[in-house]
Amino acid sequence: MNCHEVRGVLDAYVDNELGPAEAAAVREHLDGCATCRHRLADLESLGRLVRRIPYHAAPEALRVRIATARGGAWRASSVLASVAVLAIVASLAGAGLLVRSLHSDRSTEATRALADALVDNHVRALMGEHLLDVTSSDQHTVKPWFQGKLDFSPPVEDLASLGFPLVGGRVEYVGGKQAAALIYRRRQHTINLFVWPASDEAAPTDVRSTRGFQVRHWTRGGMTFWAVSDLNDVELGTFAQALQR
């Protein structure tokens, strides 16, 4: 089967309506086609969302009115037409809810995956693979160092007076894109602050714990910031708040 053929039967495949031979052919195609697997995942997600929507039975009074309608066929037709309009409106409202819910689910999953990737980067850096490209506690040394290495200029702030001294930075890659990684310390704890241009200035802040590491996310001044550390939640929160002022 090719992609065009699979698209034509994918709904039936999800609903287990295909015969054994056709279902096996679809499975074989899915094993080797990432695009169709994504379509299948979208259909399955949509199905889960549909099943979450509460079912509301039609009022008994409406059933009685339809069943006992008098006054000619035109009246029955009018009642049925009204029911049809209500059904269409309800369907459109449900569709809007489904789209918003599906978008929300995808956004939540993307945020979780990004947080996991940044924690991985943080751990690799701590293991000595690549923590610092430039070593300095002077923000006026670290910020110019990024010139010519990134296509944006990351904000670099000195937080030594608050107990978070800057120790340097490096160029990092996040989701295939370049990012600045600024390294701060709090006693024996390392904070990786990842910075790159924001795609959505209105993106919500995010606070989470991943595999024992604390993660903070916010946007400011056209940049997105992700702070990752094994520092406790309260102190990392103080660090993040200082950079959001």
* Domain membership flag for residue 167: yes
Residues 16 and 120 in one domain: no
Running DSSP on this structure, what letter comes out for residue 146? T
CA angle 81, 84, 85 (to 5 degrees): 90
CATH of the domain at 125: 3.30.200.100
Query: Where a domain ends, among 35, 52, 69?
Result: 52
Total number of domains in the chain = 2
Q: What is the rounded average pLDDT for all residues in the chain? A: 80
Residue 231, domain member (yes or no): yes
- The pLDDT score that the predictor gives to residue 30 is 85
**Which of 37-51, 90-104, 167-181 ranks highest by mean pLDDT?**
167-181
Asked if residue 212 belongs to a domain, the reply is: yes
State pTM to two decimals: 0.57
Flag whether 70 is in a domain: no
30 lies in the same domain as 129: no
**In the numeric block, which tokens belong to residue 160?**
């030594």
Whether 45 and 122 map to the same domain: the answer is no
User: Of the residues 12, 35, 52, which one is the last residue of a structural domain?
Assistant: 52
Looking at 128-210, which runs of residues are DSSP E strands? Answer: 134-135, 166-174, 177-186, 189-197, 206-210
**Structural domain includes residue 65:** no
* Domain extent for 200: 114-243
Which of 37, 52, 67 terminates a domain? The answer is: 52
pLDDT digits over 99-112, tens only?
Answer: 454 445 556 777 88
**Residue 228 in this model has a pLDDT that exceeds 60:** yes
Q: Do residue 33 and residue 133 come from a single domain? A: no
Contact criterion met (CB below 8 Å) for 13 and 26: yes
CA angle 131, 144, 154 (to 5 degrees): 70
Residue 63 tokens read as: 């059933």
Choice between 184 and 36, residue whose per-residue pLDDT is larger: 184
